[in-house]
Amino acid sequence: MAAESKEPGAAWHIATVASVHDETPRVKLFRLNLPESLLKRGFHAGQYFDVRLTAPDGYQAQRSYSITSSPDQPNLIELAIELIADGEVSSYFHEAVEVGDRIEIRGPIGGHFTWLPLSTKPVLHIAGGSGIAPIMSMLRHRTSSESRARALLIFSARTEADILFHDELDQMAKSDPNFNHIIALTRGAPQIWNGEDRRIDRPMIDAAISTLVGSEELPDRAYVCGGSDFVESMGNYLLDSGMSHSDVRTERFGP
Ligand SMILES: Cc1cc2nc3c(=O)[nH]c(=O)nc-3n(C[C@H](O)[C@H](O)[C@H](O)COP(=O)(O)OP(=O)(O)OC[C@H]3O[C@@H](n4cnc5c(N)ncnc54)[C@H](O)[C@@H]3O)c2cc1C
């Protein structure tokens, strides 16, 4: 267990579970009401909280979860927790956590993987599975702040049933001419992406960049989030395409 530091956000606070929702067969959404002590702090889209569970015998387990809700709802945070087979903390959330439960949290944390609505630059988002979580906060904040910055999301999910926030993303794309999304399914039919059966690959990213900024330009910023292998390969595609390390922001969820 990491020692507590005196950094801002390092103290533990108690949040209360306001709602639990089955978003997909493997992901539940948990809305937590923040305590008074955290209300003034606010958060940036892309940040995360640490969550700590304590067993009756004192054993503790701590994990990080990105905020999916928008910063303009400062009194609550929504977390999208994927059930990991034999996962200590995700299993507890899926099997035991109920409305009204009190959960220890610490945060918000993170400064590199954040997006501010002041930015008007075109942004490419690439998400794998639950890696959509911090990007969803950015997209929701984009909508609520009426940002006109162009944005394109490439989202990889296993099957159609596993597409998190599917209706909301479709609605965003319908109502905002500056936002497009592409969903690539890795298992099962039908595959979405020109009707082809494929994972996200280099030609798909090149075509997305062309749609976003034209074939001669590069996006000003890319946010890539998901499992380690996914982030590694997507990050490498973007660096190979000419984007700089500082413009490719990554967050890794998995081992
Ligand atoms: C900054 C940050 C933000 C995160 N945000 C989210 C989020 O928004 N939603 C979310 O669901 N998770 C998120 N995670 C991952 C989360 O912190 C946990 O690692 C995850 O929930 C697994 O914890 P567990 O206790 O259930 O599994 P553990 O008991 O830690 O692990 C059980 C087994 O599963 C493997 N494993 C662990 N994590 C993963 C994974 N992600 N995919 C596949 N196998 C895994 C382990 O290697 C181990 O073999 C985030 C991680 C980081 C670092």
Cα–Cα–Cα angle for 175, 180, 186, nearest 5°? 125
User: How far does the centroid of ligand 1 lie from the alpha carbon of residue 254, in Å?
Assistant: 5
User: Which of 28, 31, 63 to probe ligand 1 with, by most ligand atoms within 8 A of CB?
Assistant: 63
192-249: per-residue pLDDT in tens?
544 345 678 888 899 899 999 887 888 899 999 999 999 999 999 999 999 999 999 9
* Token pair 């390390």: residue: 245
> What pLDDT, in 10s, does the model give residues 141-195?
999 999 999 999 999 998 889 999 999 999 999 999 999 999 888 876 545 544 3
pLDDT in tens, 1-31: 333 344 555 899 999 999 999 999 999 999 9
Which tokens in the block code for residue 84? 């990991």
Domains in the chain, CATH or no CATH each: 13-109 (2.40.30.10), 123-252 (3.40.50.80)
pLDDT at 33 over 60: yes
What average pLDDT does the segment 55-60 reach? 95
| Average pLDDT estimate for 44-61 | 96
Element holding 204 (H helix, E strand): helix 202-213
Distance 212 CA to ligand 1 centre (A): 31
pLDDT score at 98: 97
With 90 as the cut, is the pLDDT of residue 119 above it?
no
Task: Of 36-40, 95-99, 171-175, 194-198, give the lowest mean pLDDT range.
Answer: 194-198
DSSP letter (8 states) at residue 37: H
Provide the β-strand partners of residue 80.
29
* Ligand 1 binding pocket, CB closer than 6 Å: 48, 63-66, 80-82, 84, 86-91, 130, 133, 227, 251, 253-255
Nearest-atom number in ligand 1 for the CA of 61 is: 25
Tell me how far apart the alpha carbons of residues 224 and 235 are, in angstroms, rounded to a whole number.
Answer: 7
CB distance 30 to 36 below 8 Å: no
In the chain, % helix, strand, coil (3-state, to 5) comes to 25, 30, 40
Ordered alpha helix ranges (H), the chain? 36-39, 88-96, 132-144, 166-175, 202-213, 228-240
CA 141 – CA 33 distance, rounded (Å): 19
Residue with the nearest Cα to atom 5 of ligand 1?
65
From 48, 65, 138, mutation site for ligand 1 pocket: most ligand atoms within 8 A of C-beta: 65
Q: What's the confidence (pLDDT) of residue 186?
A: 83
Smallest CA separation from ligand 1 atom 40, residue: 254
Chain-centroid distance, C-alpha 6: 27
Identify the three-state secondary structure at position 32.
strand
| Residue from 86, 90, 130, 132 whose mutation best tests the ligand 1 pocket (most atoms within 8 A of CB) | 90
pLDDT the model gives residue 93: 98
Global pTM value: 0.94
Q: Is the pLDDT of residue 122 over 80?
A: yes
Question: CB neighbours of 121 closer than 8 A, spacing ≥ 6?
Answer: 149, 219, 220, 221
Atom of ligand 1 nearest to the CA of 91: 26
CA-CA distance, 163 to 152, in Å (whole number)? Answer: 16
pLDDT at 189 (0 to 100): 56
Mean pLDDT (the chain) is: 91
Distance, CA of 70 to CA of 57 (rounded, Å): 36
